[in-house]
Amino acid sequence: MIDLFIIKVGGNVIDNPELLQTFLDKFAAIPGKKILIHGGGKIATRIGDQLGIKSNYVDGRRITDAATIDLVTMVYGGLVNKQLVAQLQARSCNAIGLTGADANIIPAEKRPVKEIDYGFVGDVQPDMLQTGPLKALLEAGVTPVFAPLTHDGNGQMLNTNADTIASSLAIALSDRYQVRLIYCFEKKGVLSDPNDDNAVINLINKEIYQQLLENKVLSDGILPKLQNAFGAIGNGVKEVLIGHADDVLSNTTGTVAGTLIC
């Protein structure tokens, strides 16, 4: 019996006021314990442009320089996060906005410089997560809402992948809860035919996953999500669900839409 829902929503929903309102309605309606992890969205780029902070790419990878980490701390950790909290409060969902620095919940390491210096990007240290205060909040009926930020323990905030924060929290909280980790994205689920948006594979287990890999059915975009999902399953998370926000939040018991990984 699932007793904790951990839901990651991406920038595409954050950026779209209509999608966001629908998402928040559905999220707030989920009964029981839940955690939201939100991505960034394009608003940081827009505000950065106005402040003369250029998006910086090396080999197609985004670099987080000193100006950019301050920008995303401000926009993701402040504006986006607190607006989500206020809007969830308006829906009687008792949200609390956090980053990984808060209560030292998600310690991270600044990514080591190899071929590329990613700047102030944090790699989560999965064994170091501090879940005590987080559990106290959940038990007090509060819903944590995480911005995609962590810290290095030496006073520096770090930009961190929201998918990774979601799976790390799911794994760390599996010692106490039966966790369903839900990744909301643009598609209805994992597709058996990348050109047919309705060709959703409803269930993937290890055997089916191997078969899909061998038959080269999966698109490049979905592979990291599935690896992440099986990583979570292999570390105690009960279920991972991938699909469109409209579907995957509607039915939290019984049959589910999207792709269930278990």
Site residues (vs a copy of itself, CB under 8 A): 47, 50-52, 70, 73-79, 81-83, 85-87, 89-90, 94-99, 101-104, 132-133, 136-137, 139-142, 149, 151, 153-157
Output the smallest distance, CB 161 to a copy of itself, in A: 18
CB of 61 to a copy of itself, least distance (A): 24
3-state secondary structure of 233: helix
Q: Which is nearer to a copy of itself, 133 or 194 (CB)?
A: 133
Tell me the C-alpha to C-alpha distance, in Å, between residue 10 and each of 3, 58, 79: 23, 23, 16
Whether residue 7 contacts residue 36, with contact meaning beta carbons closer than 8 Å, is answered with yes
Provide the minimum distance between the beta carbon of 146 and a copy of itself in the complex, in angstroms, as a whole number: 12
- Confirm or deny that 91 is annotated as ligand binding: no
Least distance between a copy of itself and beta carbon 8 (Å): 20
**Is residue 87 within 8 Å of residue 36, measured between CB atoms?**
no
Phi-psi category of 179—alpha, beta or left, where left has phi over 0 and alpha has psi -120 to 50?
A: beta
Q: Which is nearer to a copy of itself, 120 or 209 (CB)?
A: 120
- Say if residues 34 and 142 touch (Cβ distance below 8 Å): no
Q: Smaller CB distance to a copy of itself: residue 9 or 248? A: 9
| C-alpha separations of 74 from 16, 48, 127, 171, 199 in Å | 20, 11, 28, 28, 40
CA dist 195 and 201 (Å) reads: 14
Task: State which residue, 70 or 246, has the beta carbon closest to a copy of itself.
Answer: 70
Q: Is 236 annotated as a binding residue?
A: no
* Minimum CB–partner distance for residue 149 and a copy of itself (Å): 7
DSSP β-bridge partners for residue 9? 38
Task: Provide the residue type at 192 as one letter.
Answer: S
Q: If phi over 0 gives left and psi between -120 and 50 gives alpha, with beta otherwise, what is residue 188?
A: alpha
Contact 71/10 with Cβ under 8 angstroms? no
41 belongs to an annotated ligand binding site: yes
Residue (135 or 187) nearer to a copy of itself, CB? 135
Is 221 annotated to bind ligand?
no
Which residue positions form the known binding site for substrate? Answer: 40-41, 62, 159
